[in-house]
Structure 1
Amino acid sequence: MKKMRDYIKRVLIALIMALCVSLLFFGGIHSEASMKDEKEIKDGWIWPADGIISDTYGTRMGKHKGIDIAGKLNTPVLAVDDGQVVKSYYSNTYGNVVFIKHPSHFVTVYAHLNKRTVLEGQSIKQGTVIGKMGRTGQATGTHLHFETHQHEWRYDKKYALDPEKFLGKADTGENVQGGIAGINDDVLEASSHVKLEKEDKTEKGQKQYIVKQGDTLYSISKKRNMTVTRIKQLNHLSSDLIKPKQVLNVN
């Protein structure tokens, strides 16, 4: 009888040790995959809206699971990457809110919108205007509340991650610019950090313009003395999204 108990005890100990090793192994794989996903995303996500960072991740005793970008009413809010709209509805807390699932298996949340311009199930491209900035739901001022979650959004926000891991670091009070994206290992953090390069005199008479880091359609329109609308028409652009090294027709 004693031998049987000892045998059962040894089997249980072996099973527990095997379980612990498995958890460590799969945890390591998950962590490695997460870091790989973050690296890939950091090279491509864009800021979702123009405005000023009014609150960052982890404030309010750790309960604030996103970043806030304050701006003007009806400022366009852009999808940070390609994806599919998994939710688009009105919430008492989030107000008008849109949830997008991306191919990277991350979910982004855009809350307090004044208006939603996409529908559930809709496939969208990076830079698509998914809504307009507002103050619906539990919001004290006009702003975009933006969240990033790995795999899925949960009510307890278990899988929430700091969006600045993917967008670049920006402190409270700094301006950020919708459409600015990561370039290789360097992320254009905020418009207040971006130094616009001086335009070469030889460019003024050319019919094409190569987009530089920090350029926006507005800044290019000023350089070339033409309207943003005209640039969009010439290049068949449906949004204000542009990227470095992109060639635009400007004449």
Structure 2
Amino acid sequence: MLDLLRRLSIALIVGVCIVLLFVSGTQAKAEERANAVKWSSPIKGTITDTFGTRSGKHKGIDIAAPEGTIIQSVQEGLVTKSYYSDTYGHVVFIHHPEGYETVYAHLSKRSVSETAKVEKGQEIGIIGNTGVSRGTHLHFEVHKEKWTYDKKNAVDPFLMVAANKIETVPVLSQPASAEVKNPAAITVKKGDTLWGLSKAYGLSVEALKGLNGLTLDSLAIGQRLIVKEQAKSKTYTVKKGDTLFSIADEFQVSVQQLKKENRLKSEAIFPYQNLKISNHSSSSE
């Protein structure tokens, strides 16, 4: 009888421990979800690439938005790094109370310095196209504890950020060309290839590469491509608020073409400056 009672007592204790472990684990997950709700989006824009793409090498999400859009800290924290990287371009790292480190890359400008304390929603920089990047966008990463070179601690940002605040890009089965009849330039969308676009616009792959000064066959989502030559040359006087990106979009040319034709070393322009906008065939990139 005593042996039976001992067995029953042990079984009861084990059962209680299992229940406590389950409750503790459930509570921890609930707390993590609660933390996720408290985080905000770093920018209002359109997601052009998600976590885990490029054979698993893409350890963040890409969010495209207009030039000049402000980047915000998703949560309060401490700036651990703020510098220029050959790959990330202008980049800011922030460590947060929840034990995560966030990375904001390819900025055109950084608004915070290392060791600075930031609040949730505080401006930390301006969206850009610096480093290894094609097209204006924010590359945003989240790492458990801290960022490492091998990015072994990377987690999907959607687990921490309120994803419903960011617009997602639909997967297109056809090139973006179908959206506008006979456009002079298009923005590369997911699924686009040089071969597919060349067929859509009646160009050879080599001709399409020549128009855009491309040396490789690969394309990047958000990249601007010239698909038709412009009719004539003109001179444009820069107005207040203009950017190279807005002018390129207005005249359906590439930013690279504008910089090449006007001998610009950077993307900075100023009011009343005259820019040459010529027939693409008259310039070589």
What TM-score do the two structures reach when normalised by structure 1? 0.54
- Offset at residue 117 of structure 1 (A): 0.3
- Deviation string 1:73-107 (CA, Å, 9 cap, x unpaired) is 12100000000000000000000000000011100
> Gaps spanning 5+ residues in structure 2: where?
1-21, 171-285
The answer to whether the 8 Å contact 2:109/2:125 transfers is yes
Measure the CA separation in 2 of the matches of 1:44 and 1:89. Answer: 27
1:98 alignment partner in structure 2:
92
SS, match of residue 68 in structure 1: strand
Which residue does 2:119 correspond to in 1?
A: 125
Matches within 5 A, 1:3-22: none
Counterpart CA distance in 1 for 2:37 and 2:51 is: 20
Equivalent residues, number: 147
Measure the CA separation in 2 of the matches of 1:117 and 1:39.
30
Where 2:159 maps in the other structure, the secondary structure is helix
When residues 105 and 33 of structure 1 are mapped into structure 2, their CA distance, relative to the original with a 3 A threshold, is: farther
Aligned-pair distance for 1:56? 0.6
Query: Which of the pair has the greater relative contact order for Cα pairs under 8 Å at 6+ separation?
Result: 1
Counterpart in the other structure of 2:101: 107
Aligned-partner residue type, residue 169 of structure 2: G
What one-letter code is carried by the residue in structure 1 that aligns with 2:135? Answer: G
Aligned mates of 1:33, 1:129 — CA distance in 2:
33
Query: Which runs of 4 or more aligned residues in structure 1 lie more than 3 Å from their structure 2 counterparts after TM superposition?
Result: 31-37, 168-172
Aligned-residue Cα RMSD (Å) equals: 2.3
The residue aligned with 1:162 is 156
Distance in 2 of aligned mates of 1:93 and 1:82: 26
Answering whether residue 197 of structure 2 is matched by residue 173 of structure 1, we say: no
Q: CA deviation at 1:50?
A: 1.6
**Is 2:47 the counterpart of 1:65?**
no
Contact 1:37 1:104 in 2 (8 A): no
**Residues 85/135 of structure 1: CA separation in 2 closer, same or farther (3 Å cut):** same
CA distance in 2, matches of 1:171, 1:63: 23
Mapped contact 1:38–1:165 kept (Cα < 8 A): no
What residue ranges of structure 1 are gaps of 5+ in the alignment?
A: 1-27, 175-251
1:6-40 Cα deviation digits (max 9, x unpaired): xxxxxxxxxxxxxxxxxxxxxx9xx8797455323
